Structure 1
Amino acid sequence: MLYHRTLSHDDLATIITFPESKEELFYVSPKFVYPLTPEQILALLENRVEPTVVRDDESDDVLAYANLYDKDDQEGTCWLGNVIVSPRHRGKGVSDFLLFTMMEKAKVNYGLKKMQLFCHNTNSKGLAFYDKHGFKPVGLNISKTEPVKYIAIKMERDL
């Protein structure tokens, strides 16, 4: 059985092991530098809310992590960020549970009506996952940052 709770400092040592490559970490956040460190996560949390972990009820292992940011009460929107699932638990419904948890938090805790996210154009698994859950492309963000240029697809769905 899965459950969720607020991120604790003790969870960081496990979460930093989830990204298996530079590319995968880039999908979590272009601001992160491989290998991921607890300090990077904590620094990003200064402007984020609802840092959430999914845990396994039996083993109490940390299985996934995400947060919300740029909450706009006037527009009724927020952004989903830093989504990552343990490599051993991918494809087992953990990401579904995490996404529904984050959508519920945005809706219930903040009264928001829409969730937005960016998914990189090369992240086909991520794009398929979000499409399956009702997120639709609504725009592009073309990075002009050197040395890595990328296209992030803006997706959104009603809550």
Structure 2
Amino acid sequence: MDTPNLTHRPATDDDLRQVVDFVQTPDELFFAYPKGTWPLTVEQLAAARAERRGSTLALLDGRPAGYANFYQWHPGESCALGNLMIAPWARSRGVARYLIGVMERQAREHFDARRLDISCFNANAAGLLLYTRLGYTPKEVVERSDPQGQRVALIRLEKALG
């Protein structure tokens, strides 16, 4: 199996046109950006990006393949990962693992963070399995509502950054 050629760079406004297409269903949007409304638009993502830090684009063989940022940052303490989205064609190719590693390094280097927090809804089995494989441990479960008003569990996970 070939090793994927993964790189990254800061996301730009122009990248958002491609990133919005990473989200294929209302459920995927809810997992990646619970405050968003279906379908995700460039304007929604640009507004979120303006309020966040560290918006990063992962590239697989030079093609935009993943996106993430921090929705909370507490210098010297922690950052919270948000808006993690992977292009459908790039899934199961190591992009999410790579991008999370990039964001862990950015949290340490730019915010002197000792911990990275990730929130994941109970229905997002792929996300929960990935995060626990990467060393994230659940710290609390809180009740939320999905867009249809149904009760869901938001699992908050954390990982110490070394």
**Structure 1 residues 1-150: aligned runs within 5 Å:** 1-56=5-60, 58=61, 60-73=62-75, 76-143=77-144, 147-150=149-152
Q: Secondary structure at the match of 1:150?
A: strand
Question: Distance between the aligned counterparts of 1:129 and 1:4, measured in 2?
Answer: 20
Task: Please report how far the alpha carbon of residue 107 of structure 1 lies from its aligned counterpart in structure 2 after TM superposition.
Answer: 0.6
Structure 1 runs of 4+ aligned residues shifted over 3 Å read: none
Q: What per-residue deviation string (whole Å, max 9, x for no partner) do you get for residues 111-132 of structure 1?
A: 1100001100111110000000
2:93 and 2:55 mapped to 1: Cα distance?
22
TM-score between the two structures when normalised by the length of structure 2: 0.91
Structure 2: unaligned runs, 5 residues or longer: none
Aligned residues: 156
Secondary structure class of the residue paired with 1:16: helix
Amino acid paired to 2:102: T
1:25-77 deviation line (CA, Å, top 9, x unaligned): 11001101111111111111232100000013x4x310000001211125x11
User: How many percent of aligned residue pairs carry the same amino acid?
Assistant: 29
Query: Structure 1 counterpart of 2:159, which letter?
Result: R
Q: Counterparts of 1:90 and 1:46 in 2: how far apart (Å)?
A: 26
- 1:154 corresponding residue in structure 2: 156
Q: TM-score, normalised by structure 1?
A: 0.92
- CA–CA separation in structure 1 for the residues paired with 2:35 and 2:151: 13
Question: For 1:127 and 1:55, how far apart are their aligned partners in 2?
Answer: 23
Match of 1:63, as an amino acid?
A
How far the C-alpha of 1:152 sits from its partner, in A, is: 0.6
Q: Which residues of structure 1 form unaligned runs of 5+?
A: none
Q: What CA distance in whole angstroms lies between the structure 2 residues aligned with 1:82 and 1:105?
A: 15
